Structure formats: C-alpha cells, structure tokens
C-alpha cells in the first residue's frame, strides 16, 4: 500500500521524526531520529548494536511521528510495524543520504560502531495534526 502523501512529504523533507519502540518490560523508549521514505515505507536508519534495533527485533510495533520543522504543530503520527530490514551497502548509502539531507555531508565512518541497518516501517494507523 502506498505511503500517505502527507507523511511521505514530511519524511522526504528536512524534518525530524520521533521513533518509539518498546523495551523488554513494555516501557516505551523514544528517540529523535532522521527519517526517510520510499513509496510504501518510512525508513529509519540505525545500527544493530542499538537498543532501538533490539527492541524492534523483539517487538516490531513502533510509532513514528514526523513533524514539520517550519511548523512543529504540523505533524503526522504513524503507528505501525517494522516489516523488513536492509543491511550492507544499501544501509550505508542510506545513512550517507540522510546525513547529506540533514547536515550537508556524508556520515562519518568514525561514528559507526556496528553494522548499519534500515528499518522499513509500514504505517497501520495515522493521526494528522494541522494538515
């Protein structure tokens, strides 16, 4: 199913996202993230050594909220699931693309401590504000 056009537009722009995953005890963990999108998924790039990655391996349910940097009251909240992951060269190329989008240059090699991975999220429910 195609990604909602408002959500895709926000994710394609220089807008930050908040990713919420579930810890082993059920407590939510929330982090501000860079975000991207393809035609069908929100794309979150992380490393396999991070808690958020382990959380999604155990429980794929996530919430991703992307807000407009020009108007933080304009946002889309997407509740859904991580349905796939992509590793290797594609994940590295993706983090470089995100780094250029948000910061103007490739992601530094020194910042990578484990393997990069793209989490592909399918939204199941949406909440839009001021859109």
pLDDT digits (tens, 9 = 90+) for 48-89: 999 999 999 999 999 999 999 999 999 999 999 999 999 999
Record the tokens describing residue 1, joined without a space: 């199913």
pLDDT tier, 40 (very low <50, low <70, confident <90, very high otherwise): very high
pTM recorded for the entire structure = 0.95
CA 21 to chain centre: 11
Which domains does the chain carry? Answer: 5-129 (2.30.110.10)
pLDDT of residue 114: 84
pLDDT tens digits, 98-128: 999 999 988 877 777 789 999 999 999 999 9
pLDDT of residue 121: 98
- Given the structure tokens 């979150």, which residue do they identify? 44
Q: Residues 8-21: what's their mean pLDDT?
A: 98
- Given the structure tokens 């989008």, which residue do they identify? 101
């Amino acid at each position: 199913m195609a990604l909602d056009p408002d959500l895709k537009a926000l994710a394609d722009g220089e807008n930050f996202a908040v990713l919420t995953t579930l810890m082993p005890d059920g407590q939510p963990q929330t982090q501000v993230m860079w975000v991207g999108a393809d035609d069908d998924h929100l794309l979150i790039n992380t490393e396999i050594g991070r808690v958020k990655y382990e959380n999604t391996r155990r429980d794929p349910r996530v919430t991703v909220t992307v807000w407009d940097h020009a108007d933080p009251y304009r946002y889309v909240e997407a509740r859904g699931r991580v349905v796939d992951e992509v590793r290797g060269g594609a994940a590295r190329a993706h983090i470089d693309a995100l780094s250029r989008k948000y910061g103007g240059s490739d992601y530094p090699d020194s910042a990578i401590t484990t393997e990069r991975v793209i989490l592909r999220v399918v939204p199941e429910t949406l909440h839009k504000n001021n859109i």
